[in-house]
Structure 1
Amino acid sequence: MELSLEMIRSEIQRAGDYKQLRGIRDQLHEEFEGRLLLSTSIEWNRELNQVHDLLIEKAVGLGQEKVRQEGGGDPPVPFAFVLFGSGGRGEQTLWSDQDNGLIYGVPANFQIEEQAIVYFKLLAEAVSELLMQLGYPPCTGGVICTNEKWRKPLNGYRSMLHEWMQDPHWEHIRYLLILADMRTVFGDKGLVTAVLDEFFDYVRKHPIMLEHMLHNTLHHKISLGLFGQLIKERYGEDAGGVDIKYGAYIPIVSGIRLLAVEAGVKASSTEERILGLMKTGFVEEEIAQDWLEALSIALKLRSFTPFQLEEGHYTSRGKLSADGLTKERISELKLCLRIGNDLQKYVKKSVHKEIEKG
């Protein structure tokens, strides 16, 4: 019997601790693996990410409960628990890691500020620990709520944002692009809206920012050779396979993200960004449909890459193995990569045109 989202939601809400939640997550992992072959990948991805959201929301609720029981009290100011990366875009695979942060309201005085620093540090540690117990490994790049950089009051986020924008070297632009995918999964959505509005507003007034972001956006090249052949892994355990994550998926979602920033489309998922670009007339429908098709193939093939359980965490190297490259998948992948190639050229042209105008 296929579980409906409502049934999944009530199961997750009823769970009293991480052990019950972990049991649900493992069960759903199998359930969704089986569904992958039967549904369209964008729809499957959407449903899977609603489940990830429910698990993460529950973990934040349990984290608050833990802090309260240990004498840490309640949040002294409103806050938002946010996701970045594929979580922010609503495109997590079955085995995504933790890419998250915490924004809280500006405390009214020094005393509340001190309370907030202590409270949200405790909450971040509790939630991150719970998510690890649920099989989400911490982000290797340190984009995680336990890192002070990503756990700040709203004014802290604002000044960090301006620091990056006024000194747009490679690393700062990388952070800006991480921030552009930010989405609230629990708490006060207004805090995230405030940060993103400021970001979009700054780019609109300083279109040269698009040029800086373009370099980072085109950093990962599509895995297609000059003569239309697949660029395969040459060494190691993935030899003969293809890097779906960095050779197809990341170049496509990064290109669409930059176009969305340029057009002022504030959606966070790649699908919604493409639809937004189409609705505003920024891109022709035919091209947008091609992008949706490429996204759909990239999401599907990314979900077929082998994963493993390491110390209880779900992980994957994002490579489609040589024996996973069936004839059908090769032709789908080549189509996806050709569209991805055209998309990267389109982005470059579009940004240069915008800068000349600006």
Structure 2
Amino acid sequence: MKHLSMEQILERIYLSEQFDEMRITRDQVHEMFREHLLFSHTPELGRKVNAIHDAFIQRTIELAEHMLEDEGYGKPPVPYAFILFGSGGRSEQTLWSDQDNGLIYGESAEHLEEYVEAYFIKLVDCILQGLDALGYPPCEGNVISSNKQWRKPITGYTGMMLGWLQEPDWENVRYLLIMADMRCIYGSQDLVDQLKGAFLTYVQEHPGILNQLLSNTLHHKISLGIFGQLITERYGEDAGGFDIKYGAYIPIVNGIRLLAIQAGITHSSTSQRIKLLKEGAFIPEQQANEWLQAFGVALRLRDLTPFQLENEMYTTRGKLGADQLTKEVKHELKQCLRSGIELQKYVKRSIVSHIEEKKVR
């Protein structure tokens, strides 16, 4: 397996006819890439990991469609989009990411609503069985297509989203920010574009909503103390370690996402959002470059967190062990965190001044 090229790995995935067959490939690929990440992490390696995740998920959906056809349910009655949220939506998955997904489907003039809904319930059941067999644990927050909230027709999704925008309490804003990272991994890109377009149009027309989005965005603070020291874990098996996911990665992701929403950028990848913000002159070039560098450090260190197999599922607590915090790692981590703090300050200033400017107009 170590000598297989990306093309050969992807070919093996797309030629798979069984979920168990793909699981064998995933276990082998996991070991191969884990070894590479330990010794020579590069952005290109991260892109390859995400391309492989995409291939596993896409082939799982294709096999699920074939299973339903074989059982006599026919082909999908209407166009649909299988969407990823979270790190999958941003194309930032680690080797051990969980499932954050949903399904949007179109309206039908030929079939009863109940028939269409029943088809997609069965399809999602098959897809999630496959992802389960591949070792992807379900989202702990139940943001998953088996939950009816995240499996709706486009009109249902649009209505739900507008309801959240009009009543932006903490939970609704959390859902809106989850939706802002959605990416179509299979099916109709048009359905996803419609939904993203409606979201960004509402924000442009009602800039006051950015205040609520800001509060949630700044919820996770950068884990750097006022004297420039790392804020490490105090108790438990991770004592002395560092929460790279919530202490560095998530605060940076959240800040950039809100700037992208403010600017009307539809792309969901954090690095692409930074580049588009820079190209559109929404942020100064120097800051964009600093944030790209900080984000790269957060991504790399997040990829190095220890993982475990629990009930055949790949999981991680998202924390660097105390033994991983070498002098060099601490130095670059602190630089990353200082950039993250500046980013959070910048986001707050940008949103507040944007809303004030809109009021004057």
SS of 2:240's equivalent? Answer: coil
Secondary structure, counterpart of 1:90 in structure 2: coil
Superposition deviation, residue 188 in structure 1: 0.6
1:356 partnered with 2:356: yes
Q: Is 1:226 aligned to 2:237, yes or no?
A: no
Q: Does 1:296 align with 2:296?
A: yes
Distance in 1 separating the partners of 2:301 and 2:141: 24
Structure 2 residue 183 is matched with structure 1 residue 183: yes
Cα distance in 1, alignment partners of residues 278 and 38 from structure 2: 29
Q: Does 1:59 align with 2:50?
A: no
Identify the residue that residue 144 of structure 2 maps to in structure 1: 144
The alignment status of 1:281 with 2:281, answered yes or no, reads: yes
Per-residue deviation, 1:42: 2.6
Write the deviation string for residues 256-300 of structure 1: whole angstroms up to 9, x where unpaired.
000000011111100100000000011111111111111111011
Cα deviation 1:91-127 (Å, max 9, x = unaligned): 0111000000000011225x43222100000011110
Question: Contact between 1:244 and 1:302, CA under 8 Å: does it hold in 2?
Answer: yes
Identity of aligned residues (%): 54
How is 1:189-200 mapped onto 2 (pairs within 5 angstroms)?
189-200=189-200
| Separation of aligned partners in 1, 2:271 and 2:32 | 24
Aligned residues: 357
Query: In the alignment, what sits opposite 1:88?
Result: 89
**What residue is the counterpart of 1:34 in the other structure?**
35
Aligned-pair CA distance for 1:129: 1.1
Distance 1:38 1:4 in 2: 18
Asked if the contact 1:309–1:315 (Cα under 8 Å) also holds between the matched residues in 2, the reply is yes
For residues 193 and 41 of structure 1, what CA distance do their matches in structure 2 show?
31
Letter in 1 for 2:138: P
Q: What code does the residue aligned with 1:141 have?
A: G
Q: Evaluate the alpha carbon distance shift between residue 294 and residue 2 of structure 1 in structure 2; reply closer, same or farther with a 3 A threshold.
A: farther
Residue in 2 that maps onto 1:106: 107
Q: Secondary structure at the match of 1:36?
A: helix
> Residues 308 and 315 of structure 2 are in contact (CA less than 8 Å); yes or no, is this contact kept in structure 1?
yes
Cα deviation for residue 2 of structure 1 reads: 4.5
Aligned counterparts of 1:17 and 1:40: Cα–Cα separation in 2: 31
Aligned to 1:5: 6
Query: Do the aligned partners of 1:41 and 1:296 also contact (CA within 8 Å) in 2?
Result: no
AA paired with 2:68?
Answer: V
Determine if the alignment matches structure 1 residue 15 to structure 2 residue 28: no
| Structure 2 Cα separation of the partners of residues 239 and 52 of structure 1 | 31
Partner residue of 2:120?
A: 120
Matched-pair contact (CA < 8 Å) for 1:251–1:340: yes
2:213 maps to: 213
Structure-1-length-normalised TM-score: 0.98
Secondary structure of 2:116's match?
A: helix
Q: Measure the CA separation in 1 of the matches of 2:304 and 2:40.
A: 14
Tell me the residue number matched to 2:345.
345
RMSD: 1.1
Shift of 1:69: 1.8
Aligned residues of 1:41 and 1:297 also touching (Cα < 8 A)? no
Distance in 2 (alpha carbons) for counterparts of 1:53 and 1:59:
10
Structure 2: which amino acid aligns with 1:25? R
Which of structure 1's runs of 4+ aligned residues deviate more than 3 A?
Answer: 37-41
1:40 Cα deviation after fit: 5.0
What is the DSSP-based 3-state SS (H/G/I as helix, E as strand, rest coil) of the residue aligned with 1:152? strand
Distance 1:313 1:40 in 2: 24
Once residues 351 and 144 of structure 2 are traced to their aligned partners in structure 1, the CA distance between those partners, rounded to angstroms, is 31
What residue ranges of structure 1 are gaps of 5+ in the alignment? none
Cα 1:39–1:288 change in 2 (3 A) is farther
Q: So what's the TM-score if we normalise by structure 2?
A: 0.97
Q: CA deviation at 1:34?
A: 2.0
AA partner of residue 164 (structure 1): W
